[in-house]
Amino acid sequence: MTRASSTTKTYNQDCSDCPIRHRAVCARCEGDELEQLEQIKYYRSFEAGQTVVWAGDSMDFVASVVTGIATLSQTMEDGRRQMVGLLLPSDFIGRPGRETSAYDVTAATDTVMCCFRRKPFEDMMLRTPHIGQRLLEMTLDELDAAREWMLLLGRKTAREKIASLLTIIARRDASLQLSMADGELSFDLPLTREAMSEYLGLTLETVSRQMSSLRKEGLIVTEGKRHITIPDFDRLLEETGDDSDGGFLV
Amino acid sequence: MTRASSTTKTYNQDCSDCPIRHRAVCARCEGDELEQLEQIKYYRSFEAGQTVVWAGDSMDFVASVVTGIATLSQTMEDGRRQMVGLLLPSDFIGRPGRETSAYDVTAATDTVMCCFRRKPFEDMMLRTPHIGQRLLEMTLDELDAAREWMLLLGRKTAREKIASLLTIIARRDASLQLSMADGELSFDLPLTREAMSEYLGLTLETVSRQMSSLRKEGLIVTEGKRHITIPDFDRLLEETGDDSDGGFLV
DNA sequence: CAATTTCCTTGATGTAGATCAATCCTGATG
DNA sequence: CATCAGGATTGATCTACATCAAGGAAATTG
């Protein structure tokens, strides 16, 4: 369906069929500007588990996730790891004006990224205010997400953390694909138990136990290790500890 | 020395002596633009502990902290609270394009804010690209800070959390005031134990115990409840769990 | 200058989640 | 089809931090 699982690098493909257009930087670009973006753009593919860049490595591009899921993580000297970013299709990677990555960037699933060479991209930003505006919007959204995440890390119980993560993934996936019928909803979990534990600030054992517990109570149904069905989304929402206003897709 | 502890509201003061200029939105404004900012600007003062806005309340301004410290917090239904933002002088409050506050905004100390009426400010952003650019820079910095904070919340021990908070405050204060001589360094802690606990995702009892423990080990010296002296900054840094590269002010 | 209030400290005890250690799937490989 | 490897699960035990509870110090008030 898409070129998600291909591993060929492809340069300068036409942007018009590029799935990132609905949200990412080039969404409002036209004519000349699209032309310019084409010049500095190329695609890269990564397999699940592959590292894109390590924290501290130089990074001469910014990028947008096309398909798949990438993560940002920080590592402490003794190996403790915390995920600090979860990037779904259309999310932006990299910081204009920064030459090295501050985080480990990893492909959680097979992933395709649309990269823009950094220097010319920065130049273009100066000439094209709406790219900066778009970036500001996206950054503010990420900041809000980070703050939600901080509440989760600082104050939620293990069970609430798991329930929250499942609803977050379900919601974000929902806008893209996902099968759903009358409140029942299912999707493929794109993270290993270990990645989940890094997201949530838990150990993978605790993640596993809480998943089992939710399964036993019928809040989720699993098929294989990764496919999840949520029979009653609202019931799971009640386990997140969040305000239960807002309907399905807030 | 400044108007920090005054409680009078003052409108349309001259921006030229405004302490926010070194970092905040108007840093690069000139002539006309400064003129326009003057038109939509006013000062507000808050006493320590006072709430600026509650989460969900409408907020018709954006602002910059002039003096004092403000915090952003989230509250769960059952009262669990997590601080998600710590705003020092020159930091920006509010989100262009958002009509209600997503967080509780509280003055941690006596605080003066320089407010801009939101609508005209947004209009001005569209006309004046460098304001947006400035805002993007600041938002990216905040996002980095949030991610550092996530590592703290998700993976650090109580002791590491306390040490980290002390170094964060010391560092940020350092650029503004603070007395320091050969690696010794002292400052007034602008947060109650409770506020510290909300920052760190701990209880205030744990904060108190860890402070006592650092005191007993000579890593910090206290005078009264709030004044802290750090006799050897590097030794405290070692307790944070962070990479110990970078010198004093990285 | 008592009395209150606010903030902080310290102790005793409980518990959620970490740690250590087997075992179990499921799909890949020779 | 036996072996293996990389997840995932589950159990037994430990411990860091939370919770509950009782003071204590310093500022604030009548």
Q: Domain boundary at A127, A152, A177, which?
A: A152
**Same structural domain, A192 and A123:** no
Partners of residue A154 in chain B, C-beta under 8 Å: 82, 153, 200-201
**Same structural domain, A129 and A210:** no
**Which one of A151, A203, A245 makes the best mutation probe of the B interface by having the most chain B beta carbons within 10 Å?**
A151
> Which residue does chain B place closest to A198, by CA atoms?
B154
ipTM: 0.91
Nucleotide nearest to A206 (CA to C1'): C17
The verdict on residue A25 lying in a domain is: yes
pLDDT tens, per residue, chain A with 250 residues: 333 333 333 333 444 445 445 566 776 777 788 888 888 989 999 999 999 999 999 999 999 998 899 999 999 999 999 999 999 988 999 999 999 999 999 999 999 999 999 999 999 999 998 899 999 999 999 999 999 999 999 999 999 999 999 999 998 876 555 556 666 888 999 999 999 999 999 999 999 999 999 999 999 999 988 899 999 999 999 999 998 664 444 3
Q: Domain boundary at B120, B152, B184, which?
A: B152
Nucleotide D6's nearest residue (CA vs C1') is A192
Domain that holds residue B42: 15-152
Closest-CA distance, B138 to chain A, in angstroms, reads: 10
The verdict on residue B247 lying in a domain is: no
**Same structural domain, A47 and A120:** yes
Q: Are residues A81 and B155, on separate chains, in Cβ contact within 8 Å?
A: yes
A212 touches strand C (CB under 7 A): no
DSSP chain A: --STT-----BS--GGG-GGGGTSGGGG--HHHHHHHHHTEEEEEE-TT-EEE-TTSB--EEEEEEES-EEEEEE-TTS-EEEEEEE-TT-EES-TT-SB-SSEEEESSSEEEEEEEHHHHHHHHHH-HHHHHHHHHHHHHHHHHHHHHHHHHHH--HHHHHHHHHHHHHHHHHTTS-EEETTEEEEE--S-HHHHHHHHTS-HHHHHHHHHHHHHTTS-EEETTTEEEES-HHHHHTTS-S---S-S--
Interface of A with B in 204-223 (CB under 8 A): none
**Same structural domain, A79 and A102:** yes
